[in-house]
């Protein structure tokens, strides 16, 4: 891998007003707090707030030495200006004016246009890591256009590393088989509630030397609080999943571990996972997640969850006893 990732990163979706608006000063304070807490990996995307996340992140990071942090963004959605009615908002979960439309474009030209626009919004002259973003319904175009373009840009030194970021595991595994990727960003597919990445993706990444970045470790919110929330992967959580999360929380509590602490810890037990990326709505949430990530987790917790049928046995770390 040409870019080494720190073990904990700040995700940029909330900087783009995911779910609700965040004032500029609060967003900037979140990035400053992340830096003060030692976070040196920052992930964003044009999709997040129609470019707002990139603009805010670039402005905040301008205060720090460029060589001291790693930044990733994504390609696949090109932003195009559009006329809007007064008060019209984005319709994809971000509380921002709908002044741009997202157009899927995984062609070579689309990749180049997207990166040029991202560099402009970020105020940077290079990006460390670029992911092909959510090509679920655009497999052939991504294979023929986006990935060859990124491979070429990496060879030219224009970008440091390349990969793919998705909310599913099987297609990520196919990209790992087909291309010489550095990293994959796997959202929500290796969590306390959901571990399909164990079937193929994670073993394949170990075999191929591809670093896995775990995102969505709270599965959209259900695992983000000591008592399970009601949102799972951006929609209302089914009752059976809330019940399962509650049972997991109860076993965690017996070991003095909170549900969010366990959610942050599980992905890091797998040798393929090199970093965990977590978003935050404000500076205090950044610090809270840093504390959660530093918690000592008794390895027997994973054994107890597996014994209760709440965690696949393959998800348990190799070590036994003590803490990890």
- Positions marked active-site: 48
Answer yes or no: are the C-beta atoms of 131 and 75 closer than 8 Å.
yes
| Token pair for 31 | 């990035």
Residue 154's contacts (CB-CB under 8 Å, 6 or more residues apart) are 2, 160, 161, 162, 182
**Mapped to the 3 state alphabet, what secondary structure does 52-120 carry?**
HHHHHHHHHHCCCCHHHCEEEEEECEEEEECCCCCCCECCCCECCECCEEEEECCCHHHHHHHHHHHHH
**Placement of tokens 């979140």 in the chain:** 30
Euclidean distance between CA atoms 266 and 310, whole angstroms: 13
Q: Which residues of 73-108 are buried (b: 16+ CB within 10 A; e: fewer)?
A: bbbbbbbeeeeeeeeeebeeebebebebeeeebbbb
Packed helices 52-61 and 24-36: angle between N→C axes, nearest 10 degrees: 50
Distances (CA, A) of 142 to 107, 128, 131: 7, 20, 11
In the chain, helix, strand, coil percent, each to 5? Answer: 40, 20, 40
Answer yes or no: are the C-beta atoms of 251 and 304 closer than 8 Å.
yes
Q: Which of 77, 83, 80 is nearest to 45 (CA)?
A: 77
């Amino acid at each position: 891998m040409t870019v080494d990732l720190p073990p904990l990163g700040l995700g940029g979706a909330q900087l783009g007003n995911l779910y609700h608006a965040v004032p500029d000063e609060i967003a900037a304070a979140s990035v400053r707090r992340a830096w003060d807490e030692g976070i040196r990996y920052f992930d964003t995307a044009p999709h997040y707030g129609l470019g707002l996340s990139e603009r805010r992140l670039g402005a905040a990071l301008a205060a720090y030495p460029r060589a001291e942090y790693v930044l990733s963004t994504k390609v696949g959605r090109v932003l195009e200006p559009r006329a809007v009615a007064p008060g019209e908002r984005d319709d994809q979960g971000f509380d921002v004016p709908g002044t741009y439309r997202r157009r899927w474009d995984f062609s070579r030209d689309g990749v180049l246009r997207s990166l040029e626009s991202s560099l402009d919004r970020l105020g940077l002259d290079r990006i460390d890591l670029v992911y092909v973003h959510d090509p679920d319904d655009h497999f052939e175009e991504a294979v023929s256009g986006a990935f060859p373009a990124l491979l070429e840009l990496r060879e030219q030194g224009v970008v440091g590393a390349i990969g793919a970021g998705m909310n599913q595991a099987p297609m990520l595994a196919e990209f790992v088989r087909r291309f010489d990727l550095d990293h994959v960003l796997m959202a929500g597919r290796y969590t306390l509630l959901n571990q399909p990445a164990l079937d193929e993706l994670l073993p394949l990444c170990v075999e191929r030397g591809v670093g896995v970045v775990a995102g969505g470790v709270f599965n959209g919110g259900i695992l983000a609080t000591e008592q399970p929330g009601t949102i799972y992967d951006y929609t209302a959580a089914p009752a059976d999943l809330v019940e399962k999360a509650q049972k997991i929380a109860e076993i965690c509590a017996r070991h003095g571990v909170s549900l969010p602490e366990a959610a942050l810890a599980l992905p890091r037990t797998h040798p393929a996972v090199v970093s965990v990326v977590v978003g935050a709505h404000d500076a205090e949430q950044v610090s809270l997640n840093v504390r959660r990530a530093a918690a000592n987790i008794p390895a027997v917790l994973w054994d107890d969850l597996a014994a209760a049928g709440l965690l696949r046995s393959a998800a348990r770390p190799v070590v036994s006893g003590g803490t990890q």
